[in-house]
Amino acid sequence: MFARGLKRKCVGHEEDVEGALAGLKTVSSYSLQRQSLLDMSLVKLQLCHMLVEPNLCRSVLIANTVRQIQEEMTQDGTWRAVAPQAAGRAPLDRLVSTEILCRAAWEQEGAHPAPGLGNGHTQGPVSDLCPVTSAQAPRHPQSSVWEMDGPRENRGSFHKSLDQIFETLETKNPSCMEELFSDVDSPYYDLDTVLTGMMAAARPGPCEGLAGLAAATPGPSSSCKSDLGELDHVVEILVET
């Protein structure tokens, strides 16, 4: 799914980074999958915000799921403050994204969402579902997990995969699209295993019936493009939906 079996190199400083990474490998899989679930949930909340009359029960359940994940990440210490220049807004001990989304989705009685929290900017990243906008604004709660990889590297590979995506979209070549998104399915299979508490199978069976409904193609490849960072995965979800 994600990069496995990183080779240790002889060069000094890299070894430390690799060592740290290797040590975290066992937990990072769960963290990354948990992150995927969080991203998926946030997208769902935004989508139902855009619908005509959002189903309140569904919104509440998704928001509660987001809250649970954020609480767990706070306890883990993986939920970190974002650099001020990147966010430049609300205090960080609040679960910001959930609140903004809740207000936007639920305050149907008021004509407009509350202006107070700089909503335009906060909602900007995802509400338009425009890949360019969402790519450029760092999603501040999520960036914590990726921070240790080095922001520069991420951005490089991030832009690279964005280009790939846009290229694919322009050429409208379905097979390219499938190839690009073919990895998206496998994370979710693993998510099924890990996040629903089933420890048994190392490799879950293919869920074609379900995947057929959910994603473009059921056709998981077991390896992942190693140069696709986790942020790219986030963008893939946004673009896919």
Partner 1 sequence: VVADIISTVEFNHTGELLATGDKGGRVVIFQREQEVSGEGSWRVLHKNQVHRRGEYNVYSTFQSHEPEFDYLKSLEIEEKINKIRWLPQQNAAYFLLSTNDKTVKLWKVSERDKRPEGYNLKDEEGRLRDPATITTLRVPVLRPMDLMVEATPRRVFANAHTYHINSISVNSDYETYMSADDLRINLWNFEITNQSFNIVDIKPANMEELTEVITAAEFHPHHCNTFVYSSSKGTIRLCDMRASALCDRHTKFFEEPEDPSNRSFFSEIISSISDVKFSHSGRYIMTRDYLTVKVWDLNMENRPIETYQVHDYLRSKLCSLYENDCIFDKFECVWNGSDSVIMTGSYNNFFRMFDRNTKRDVTLEASRENSKPRAILKPRKVCVGGKRRKDEISVDSLDFSKKILHTAWHPSENIIAVAATNNLYIFQDKVN
Binding site for partner 1 (CB under 8 A): 34, 37, 40, 44, 52-53, 55-58, 60-61, 63-65, 68-69, 99, 102-103, 106-109, 111, 188-189, 191-193, 195-198, 204-211, 213-214
> Long-range contacts of range 96-100, CB-CB < 8 Å, 24 or more positions apart?
96/122, 96/140, 96/141, 97/42, 97/66, 97/122, 97/141, 98/63, 98/66, 98/67, 98/70
Complex with partner 1: residue 55 or 173, whichever CB lies closer: 55
User: Tokens representing 217?
Assistant: 């193609």
Q: Please report where in the chains the tokens 């059921």 appear, as a residue.
A: 218
Contact indicator for 96, 90 with CB cutoff of 8 Å: yes
CB of 19 to partner 1, least distance (A): 30
Shortest Cβ 56–partner 1 spacing (Å): 4
Q: Which is nearer to partner 1, 28 or 59 (CB)?
A: 59
Based on CB atoms, which residue is closest to partner 1, 158 or 189?
A: 189
CA distance to 88, 97, 114, 198, per residue, from 182 (Å): 36, 29, 40, 24
Closest contact distance (angstroms) between CB of 76 and partner 1 is 14
CA 104-135-126 angle, to 5 degrees, is 10
For the CB of residue 124, give the shortest distance to partner 1 in the complex, in Å: 20
Cβ-based nearer residue to partner 1, 8 or 58: 58
CB of 60 to partner 1, least distance (A): 5
How far CA 159 is from CA of 101, 163, 166, in Å, comes to: 27, 6, 10
Nearer to partner 1, 147 or 192 (CB): 192
Taking the complex as a whole, the smallest distance from the CB of residue 141 to partner 1 amounts, in Å, to 16
DSSP letter (8 states) at residue 86: H
Quick one: CA dihedral 141, 147, 149, 152, positive or negative?
positive
Nearer of residues 154 and 233 to partner 1, judged by Cβ: 233
Q: How far is the CB of 50 from partner 1 (least distance, A)?
A: 12
Instruction: Choose between 66 and 87: whose C-beta lies nearer to partner 1.
Output: 66
Token pair in block for residue 109: 């009685």
